[in-house]
Structure 1
Amino acid sequence: MTSIYGANGELIPCTVIEAGPCVVTQVKTIEKDGYKAVQLGFGERKEKNTPKPLLGHFQKAGTTPKMKLVEFKDFEKEFNLGDVVRIEDVFEEGEYVDVVGTSKGKGFQGVVKRHGFAGVGESTHGQHNRERAPGSIGASSFPSRVFKGKRMAGRTGNDRVTIQNLRVLKIYPEKNLILVSGSVPGAKNSFVILEK
């Protein structure tokens, strides 16, 4: 993340995303595949680390092996195999995008960090070690179990997350960079998907 100055001199926090160039590696049609979609490849990958079937897939598109493949179903423009899709072809400054990514994994966490529990409130009046405890989790003889989805301690993060309506602040076509307002899910150098 970084920050830039807006038109009125305000400081806007933003995230820098390298978005392209992406190559069209497959065009799916209703006649052949049952649905309409376009598959884009991003990032370079060594040929020796690419499975043989994928190598043939990339050779058919006339491109080098790509690190990440993603399908997009809703699009207005027609694409051909091997087309290069650049940032300026898809996005404009000032419009809003959704960013999909995998959030940072935080491991096994308690209820305070995971769900924002506050404990019993006051630490006096006979309370001992209850500040970070979950409290009661249900009835005893009936239903004699814990309901699914009960907010308890467990693995936190490492989930697919969509952050909606982030404004595109700036586009640098020569460097393939796009600046969006606010933060996006995931650690540094992780893959994200930009959707309009």
Structure 2
Amino acid sequence: MNGILGRKVGMTSIYDESGKNVACTVIEAGPCVITQVKTQSSDGYNAIQLGFGDKKEKNTTKPLQGHFAKANSVPKRHVVEFRDFSGEKELGDEILIEDVLLEGDIVNVVGTSKGKGFQGVVKRHGFAGVGDATHGQHNRQRAPGSLGASSYPSKVIKGMRMAGRTGGDRVKLKNLRVLKIHAEQNILVVKGAVPGHKGSLVIIEK
């Protein structure tokens, strides 16, 4: 296996071997169920589909109910594919942390960052603002200022840093170290911060 799904529990800190206090994120990883196996011959590529988090049957469409029934599984809230999979696992098998990760492994973690709504340039891009209100300035402390071009090209250049919707983006953090694994509780502790709010879905890739 080269990945597993989980739920962000929150952040804490632990002491490493050198006695240094390290910030880390606690993730409830798995158990996941293999809900589909794709092969080169039938689908054009090798992959497995993992389901995580139980969902009520009444809130699941009929096609999806049939999809999960093939794997002898209850409906799952989250379904994610892991490409280029080659292994012995079969449809309906359960995937646990110890099947994928060991303490000390280096992983990539994918999550959805916290959505912060429509924000100005100071919060969104770290603009400093004017800093004071002297020399006739009025209510300009957090304004974006000039946008640059004038009569040519007479338009705002694409990519200009301006106010807009902030957060809610897919973010991948690479090379995070697995500090602790509590297999009996399905708990994974990784070094550093992981994107997303408490309870949000995270994808751990090996």
Q: Same fold (TM over 0.5)?
A: yes
Residues of 1 paired with 2:79 and 2:54: CA distance?
Answer: 11
Residues of 2 paired with 1:88 and 1:94: CA distance?
Answer: 13
CA shift for structure 1 position 126: 4.3
Does 1:18 pair with 2:31? no
The correspondence for 1:59, drawn from 69, 75, 83, is: 69
User: TM-score normalized by structure 1?
Assistant: 0.94
Residues of 2 paired with 1:184 and 1:57: CA distance?
Answer: 31
**2:40 counterpart residue number:** 30
Residues of 2 paired with 1:171 and 1:7: CA distance?
Answer: 16
Query: Letter of the aligned partner of 1:164 in structure 2?
Result: K
**1:162 counterpart residue number:** 172
Alignment of structure 1 residues 78-93 onto 2, 5 Å: 78-93=88-103
CA shift for structure 1 position 131: 2.4
The correspondence for 2:109, drawn from 87, 99, 102, is: 99
Does 1:192 pair with 2:202? yes
Over aligned residues, Cα RMSD in angstroms? 1.4
Q: Percent identity?
A: 69
**1:171 counterpart residue number:** 181
Residues of 2 paired with 1:48 and 1:24: CA distance?
Answer: 22
Query: Letter of the aligned partner of 1:166 in structure 2?
Result: L
Does 1:143 pair with 2:150? no
Q: Deviations over 1:88-120 (max 9, x none)?
A: 110111111111111001011000100011124
Residues of 1 paired with 2:19 and 2:135: CA distance?
Answer: 52
Residue aligned with 1:104, SS: coil
- Which ranges of structure 1 fall in alignment gaps of 5 or more residues? none
**1:182 counterpart residue number:** 192
CA shift for structure 1 position 122: 5.8
User: TM-score normalized by structure 2?
Assistant: 0.90
Q: Is the 8 A contact 2:46 2:86 kept in 1?
A: no
Higher relative contact order (CA 8 A, sep 6+): 2
The correspondence for 1:9, drawn from 3, 15, 19, is: 19
Runs of 4+ in 1 over 4 A off after TM superposition: none
Residue aligned with 2:184, SS: coil
Residues of 1 paired with 2:52 and 2:41: CA distance?
Answer: 27
**2:49 counterpart residue number:** 39
Aligned length, in residue pairs: 196
